[in-house]
Structure 1
Amino acid sequence: MEKLKKKAVSLEAFVCLIVLIGSCVSVARIMGPVNMINTIMGTAHDLLLNTVFFIMGVAVLAGALSEILSEFGVISLINKLLYFVIYPLYRLPGASALAVVTTYISDNPAVLSLAANKEFKKYFKNYQFTALTNLGTSFGMGFIVSAFMIAQGGLLKESLFKPVLLGNLGAVVGSIVSVNLMVYYSKKYFASRGELDNQEVADKFTLETREIRRGTVFERFLEAMLEGGKVGVGMGMAIIPGVIIICTTVLMLTNGMPEGGYTGAAYEGIGILPIIGAKVNFILKPLFGFSSPEAIAFPITALGAVGAAIGLVPQFIKEGVIGPREITVFTAMGMCWSGYLSTHVAMMDSLNYRELTGKAIFSHTIGGIAAGISANLLYSLFC
């Protein structure tokens, strides 16, 4: 988008300085300036090594898989088989089911590898394509979250299969809310630009055919796999700023002082968000069924990194803070909000729809809340 011109020095320059300096001074007074800087750098470094490169690895594998599925017609088959299931729920083409599967078994950015695939993209209108971010994020790391939660049954000394299953259903409800809201906003946006039905390929002949590579089956397989992996590398690089900047901020606001005081280690913080959770627990309890205000730390941490959020669960169980109901809600909100603050900006930017990022985040915020509420209701009904 073309940048606008503004006066070289204006009021917002002073406001920006006041906000930045005020924020840094406030945190430094709690943690100590040296500890604050070390924690910021340490957290950013650890996120780069253990989160970003992991996501890049996932994106490479997902990209390779998506190209193979595209080359041999699996995406076209899925589009035809699931259209009448997916479209009534999400108002998206049947091929969108592939985004659900790939993100569920991997992570949010896996949908970007699909989105970069021309054979996948051709099924979407402009206003539908932007909602892929919300659809993919709704199921990110779903398998990992679900498997981890079920494994906590040993600590609670009861089976958590049913609560986790209900949590998955809650995430589905949240995804429906999030995607439909995003489609609504996108449709208005593209209608105002006169690009509502502007597709790269929209004629019936193109939708009924698919492009393939030249060569033998083995050569096509190998070339598709390598090209898809190359796309995944690019996508992995694109998400680095969003993950490091936003996730570091959220984690520092969520995590508290460790036992023994601040040391400047990674993932230390000032613990403001759990305090806020305690203040609004009178709202959280009827909506999500949380029996303790500390439980709010899970969905808030999941906003930045669901991997960090599930790490809270064993300690919560040992302290008696949570039970099966919270596990149900955590599963739903953990999947639906799996690091979306740290990946949504980068994902929308990678899709070249940066101007719709605010709408995407708002829609997904509502979707995550709906996921938690529906999971709580489902637990009350079936458990």
Structure 2
Amino acid sequence: MNEFRTKKAVSKETFVFLAILIATTVYFGTTMGFDVMFDVIIKTAHDLLLDTVFKIMAIAVLAGAFAALMTEFGVVSLINKVLSPIMRPLYNLPGAASLGIITTYLSDNPAIISLTKDKSFTKFFKEHEIPTLCNLGTAFGMGMVLSFYLFSLNADFLPAIIVGNLSALIGSIVSVKIMLHHTKKYYGVTKESERESSLSAEQLSKVREIRPGNTLERFLEAILDGGKNGVEMGLAIIPGVLVICTAVMMLTFGPQGANGEYIGAAYEGVGLFPQLASYIAPVLEFFFGFTSTEAVTLPITSLGAVGAAMGMVPRLLDGGLIASNDIAVFTAMGMCWSGYLSTHVGMMDALGVKRLANKAIISHTFGGLAAGISANYIYKLVVLVMG
């Protein structure tokens, strides 16, 4: 399938794009100062590269090695057999997909891509199901880190954290189901072809391929192969993280100077998202139960990087701007979204279906919203029941 099409050299969209680009540059430049704007862009991208991308790559290497061992010695096959009765009704995915949930929950979103590079893992899936793994894995990215971090701030948050984890599960189901609808259309799946691929996957699941050599040789080769896949995946996500996450950060945060002035530090911005949130505060209160308009910055920041959102929690707690209900909602949306705007494009590219990236993003947006709304009302119900 060709990735590029032809179009008139200079068209209407050329001038529309220029107008948007100039307007955006003028907005940021007049607010922050043009010198500060470019300084912040460079420093933010540099910081993301060192502190986010390389961290993700390290996680991906370790997760890739771990996943390769799991498939080499039949653990994935066992998980597939045990959990298929659960995963099919919930996600319409094979039981092996649960390994992706476990891997990303213990690490980060892109860890699931390392699994997709292993044929012993992907053999359980139909062709149109593989792209949905991007949404499935992202919904649980950094789940353990986020949960333990919030618990360390206050042990009383435990019920809210548990509700948040449950709600992230609900969000993941919504995201995957919507994405499956798009992938079926993209691959032209019919009921007959789906039935045939199911039979093929069932036959393949009865056996598994192993590497040549004795047990120790297979162990070492699996680690190296899996780690190599992690490196390739880490490199593939760099453009998405640096470009998209930088933009999200600059739209979320404001000046960091002691007196509210710009100092040209990484992650400074115009603070547009919190301003916009103030206009729809009643709507946010109804659906998500936010204690303050500032609380909306947590899920919004999670669009770019949930780690950055975690760093904002203590400051909001000290200012009395968030409460337990907000923690439940943030846990759900932070885990479910977990920086998907900064990783989804790269992850879909690594899966070889970059043209479906927009569908994946739209599907996951609804999934995160479902997670947040579920967390708000489930937690209120828990508080009501517990008295």
Classify the TM-score, shorter chain. over 0.9
- Alpha carbons 2:126, 2:201 under 8 Å: kept: no
Q: Match of 1:294?
A: 294
Instruction: Name the CA shift for 1:203/1:333 in 2 (closer, same or farther; >3 Å).
Output: closer
Matched, 1:270 2:270: yes
Give the superposition deviation at 1:202: 2.6
% same residue: 52
Letter in 1 for 2:17: C
Give the superposition deviation at 1:284: 0.5
**Deviation digits for residues 296-345 of structure 1, max 9, x if unmatched?**
10000000000000111000000000111101111000000100000111
Matched, 1:176 2:180: no
In the alignment, structure 1 segments of 5+ residues that lack a partner are none
- Alpha carbons 1:112, 1:350 under 8 Å: kept: yes
Q: Match of 2:72?
A: 71
Task: Give the 5 Å matches for 1:1-383.
Answer: 1-2=1-2, 3-153=4-154, 159-191=156-188, 197=194, 202=200, 204-258=202-256, 259-260=258-259, 261-383=261-383
Letter in 2 for 1:123: F
Q: Normalization by structure 2: what TM-score?
A: 0.95
Partners of 1:29 and 1:193 in 2: CA distance? 54
Partners of 1:201 and 1:49 in 2: CA distance? 46
Higher alpha-carbon deviation: 258-267 or 361-370: 258-267
Instruction: Name the CA shift for 1:255/1:196 in 2 (closer, same or farther; >3 Å).
Output: farther
Letter in 1 for 2:7: K
Partners of 1:213 and 1:375 in 2: CA distance? 45
Give the superposition deviation at 1:194: 11
Report runs of 4+ in structure 1 exceeding 3 Å deviation. 192-201
Task: Kindly report the root-mean-square deviation, in angstroms, between the aligned alpha carbons of the 2 structures.
Answer: 1.7
Q: Partner of 1:124: helix, strand, or coil?
A: coil
Give the superposition deviation at 1:205: 3.9
- Alpha carbons 1:127, 1:196 under 8 Å: kept: no
- Alpha carbons 1:126, 1:195 under 8 Å: kept: no
Give the superposition deviation at 1:180: 0.8
- Alpha carbons 1:125, 1:196 under 8 Å: kept: no
Partners of 1:199 and 1:224 in 2: CA distance? 28
**Deviation digits for residues 320-373 of structure 1, max 9, x if unmatched?**
001111011110000001000001111111111112111111111111001001
In the alignment, structure 2 segments of 5+ residues that lack a partner are none
**Deviation digits for residues 177-205 of structure 1, max 9, x if unmatched?**
11111112211222269995486993654
Partners of 2:38 and 2:209 in 1: CA distance? 52
Figure out how many residues of one structure are paired with residues of the other and give that number: 379
Partners of 1:194 and 1:112 in 2: CA distance? 28
Q: Partner of 1:311: helix, strand, or coil?
A: helix
Partners of 1:19 and 1:370 in 2: CA distance? 31
- Alpha carbons 1:123, 1:207 under 8 Å: kept: yes
Partners of 2:312 and 2:201 in 1: CA distance? 51
- Alpha carbons 1:252, 1:270 under 8 Å: kept: yes
Give the superposition deviation at 1:377: 1.1
Partners of 2:372 and 2:70 in 1: CA distance? 33
Give the superposition deviation at 1:216: 1.3
Q: Normalization by structure 1: what TM-score?
A: 0.96
- Alpha carbons 1:187, 1:196 under 8 Å: kept: no
Letter in 2 for 1:287: F
Partners of 2:125 and 2:359 in 1: CA distance? 19
